[in-house]
Amino acid sequence: MVVQQCCSHNLAFFILLLFTSFTNSKDTRLKCYTDKLGLKYTWCQKNMKTCYTKLDQKGLVVGRGCSSRPGVFHTQCDSHFGSDHSEMFCYCSYSLCNSSEGTVHFQQYSTLLAVILSLLL
């Protein structure tokens, strides 16, 4: 009986250890592309909730990466205008959502940005 209790405790401990190793190994961090071409990616830090794509005034991708901006349910783009330049940041909230394939969608916004710039200048 003592041997049986010992083995059942070891079995319970083993099952608990196995369970925690599986649940802890699942990484829930976001993955975002980090290069202009959208070929390289990184695991974002835990506080990073969105991926971004940065576009210049011509609609060309000039950067990609992780952002601490709160998550969004769809792609959200913001324009930033300076005295001598403009840029657009587009954000998304699922892993690898800032791919080069998504850039086609972002270029629709860049056309709008170009029209707005031409009206302002």
Per the CB < 8 A criterion, the answer to whether 105 and 75 are in contact is yes
When divided into structural domains, the chain yields a total of: 1
pLDDT tens column, 27-84: 689 999 999 999 999 999 999 999 999 999 888 999 999 999 999 888 999 998 888 8
CA 106, CA 85: separation in Å to the nearest integer?
A: 18
Q: What is the CATH number of the domain that holds 55?
A: 2.10.60
Is the pTM higher than 0.75? The answer reads no
Of 29, 73, 37, whose CA–CA distance to 53 is shortest? 37
CA 4, CA 53: separation in Å to the nearest integer?
A: 60
SS3 102: coil
103, part of any domain? yes
1, part of any domain? no
In the DSSP assignment, the letter for residue 92 is E
Structural domain including 44 reads 29-120
